[in-house]
Amino acid sequence: MATSNLLEPDSVAVIGASATVGKLGHTVLRNIIDSGFPGKIFPVNPRGGEILGLKATASISLLPDAPGLAVIITPAVSVPDVVTECGRAGVPLAVIISGGFAESGEEGEMLQKETILRAREENVRIIGPNCQGINLPHLPLCATWPLLVREGKIALISQSGTIGAEMMDRLQIDGLGFSAFISLGNRADLDETDFIRYFQEHDPTAAIALYLEGVKNGPGFRRAVESCKKPLVFLKAGRTESGRRAIISHTRSLAGRYEIWKAFFRQSKVMAADTIDDFYHFSKAAAYLDSPSGKRLLVITSSGGSGVLATDRAAERGFVLPAPSDEAGRLLAEKLPPNAIIGNPLDFTGDATAEHYRDALRVLEGEYDYTMAIFGDPIPGAAESVAGRRRLLVVCLGGGDLQREESGKMAAAGMPVFPSPEIAVECLFALSAADRSGGR
Amino acid sequence: MATSNLLEPDSVAVIGASATVGKLGHTVLRNIIDSGFPGKIFPVNPRGGEILGLKATASISLLPDAPGLAVIITPAVSVPDVVTECGRAGVPLAVIISGGFAESGEEGEMLQKETILRAREENVRIIGPNCQGINLPHLPLCATWPLLVREGKIALISQSGTIGAEMMDRLQIDGLGFSAFISLGNRADLDETDFIRYFQEHDPTAAIALYLEGVKNGPGFRRAVESCKKPLVFLKAGRTESGRRAIISHTRSLAGRYEIWKAFFRQSKVMAADTIDDFYHFSKAAAYLDSPSGKRLLVITSSGGSGVLATDRAAERGFVLPAPSDEAGRLLAEKLPPNAIIGNPLDFTGDATAEHYRDALRVLEGEYDYTMAIFGDPIPGAAESVAGRRRLLVVCLGGGDLQREESGKMAAAGMPVFPSPEIAVECLFALSAADRSGGR
Is A305 in Cβ contact with B158 (below 8 Å)? yes
Is A350 in Cβ contact with B99 (below 8 Å)? yes
| pLDDT value at A2 more than 60 | no
Which DSSP state fits B361?
H
Quick one: average pLDDT of A343-370? 93
> How far is Cα A410 from Cα A408, in angstroms, rounded to an integer?
5
A396-435 burial: b if 16+ Cβ within 10 Å, else e: bbbbbeebbebbbbbbeebbbbbbbbbbbbbbbbbbbebe
Could you tell me how many CB contacts below 8 A there are between chain A and chain B?
A: 242
Tell me which residue of A420, A87, A285 sits closest to B275, measured CA to CA. Answer: A420
Tell me which residue of B355, B359, B405, B403 sits closest to B377, measured CA to CA. Answer: B403
Q: Count H helices, E strands: chain B?
A: 15, 19
Residues from chain B contacting residue A347 (CB–CB below 8 Å): 249-250
Nearest chain B residue (CA) to A145: B399
Predicted pLDDT of residue B1? 42
Predicted pLDDT of residue B3? 58
Is A345 in Cβ contact with B311 (below 8 Å)? no
A163: closest CA of chain B, how far (Å): 6
B187: closest CA of chain A, how far (Å): 15
Q: Sign of the C-alpha dihedral, residues B67, B70, B75, B78?
A: positive
Residue A426 in contact with residue A297, Cβ under 8 Å? no
Is A400 in Cβ contact with B160 (below 8 Å)? no
Of the listed ranges A400-404, A423-427, B6-10, the least confidently predicted one is: A400-404
Is B251 in Cβ contact with A277 (below 8 Å)? no
Give the residues across from B373 on adjacent strands.
B300, B394
Give the residues across from A373 on adjacent strands.
A300, A394
Predicted pLDDT of residue B93? 98
| Residue B2 confidence class, pLDDT cut points 50, 70, 90 | very low
Is B213 in Cβ contact with A305 (below 8 Å)? yes
pLDDT > 70: percent of chain B: 99
B193: closest CA of chain A, how far (Å): 19
pLDDT tens digit sequence for B351-390: 789 999 999 999 999 999 999 999 998 788 899 999 889 9
Considering only CB atoms, A420 lies closest to which of B276, B314, B377, namely B276
The one-letter code for the residue type at A363 is V
Residue B208 in contact with residue B245, Cβ under 8 Å? no
> How far is Cα B339 from Cα A249, in angstroms, rounded to an integer?
12
Is B249 in Cβ contact with A304 (below 8 Å)? yes
Q: Give the pTM.
A: 0.96
Predicted pLDDT of residue A438? 73
| Residue A3 confidence class, pLDDT cut points 50, 70, 90 | low
Residue A136 in contact with residue A104, Cβ under 8 Å? no
pLDDT tens digit sequence for A264-316: 999 999 999 999 999 999 999 999 999 999 999 999 999 999 999 999 999 99
| pLDDT value at A149 more than 70 | yes
Is A398 in Cβ contact with B164 (below 8 Å)? yes
Predicted pLDDT of residue A4? 67
Quick one: average pLDDT of B99-103? 92
Predicted pLDDT of residue A377? 81
Predicted pLDDT of residue B339? 84
Q: Sign of the C-alpha dihedral, residues A151, A153, A155, A160?
A: negative
Residues from chain B contacting residue A159 (CB–CB below 8 Å): 305
Considering only CB atoms, B275 lies closest to which of A163, A213, A422, namely A422
Distances in Å between the Cα of A300 and the Cα atoms of A78, A373, A415 are 61, 5, 17
Burial of A262 (0-12, 13-18, 19+ CB in 10 A): middle
> How far is Cα B187 from Cα B202, in angstroms, rounded to an integer?
21
Residue A183 in contact with residue A131, Cβ under 8 Å? yes
Is B339 in Cβ contact with A420 (below 8 Å)? no
Average pLDDT, chain B: 94
Predicted pLDDT of residue B4? 67
Considering only CB atoms, A400 lies closest to which of B169, B275, B419, namely B169
Instruction: Give Cβ neighbours of residue A69 (< 8 Å, ≥ 6 apart).
Output: A9, A11, A12, A13, A91, A92, A93, A94, A95, A141, A143
DSSP letters for B246-288: HHHHHH------HHHHHHHHHHTT-EEESSHHHHHHHHHHHHH
**CA-derived radius of gyration, chain B:** 25
| Residue A53 confidence class, pLDDT cut points 50, 70, 90 | very high
A88: closest CA of chain B, how far (Å): 31
To which H or E segment does residue B309 belong? Answer: helix B304-316
To which H or E segment does residue B71 belong? Answer: strand B69-72
Which one has a higher pLDDT value, B17 or B437? B17
The one-letter code for the residue type at B229 is K
A343: closest CA of chain B, how far (Å): 9
| pLDDT value at B16 more than 80 | yes
CA dihedral angle for residue B234, residue B235, residue B239, residue B244, rounded to 10 degrees: -110
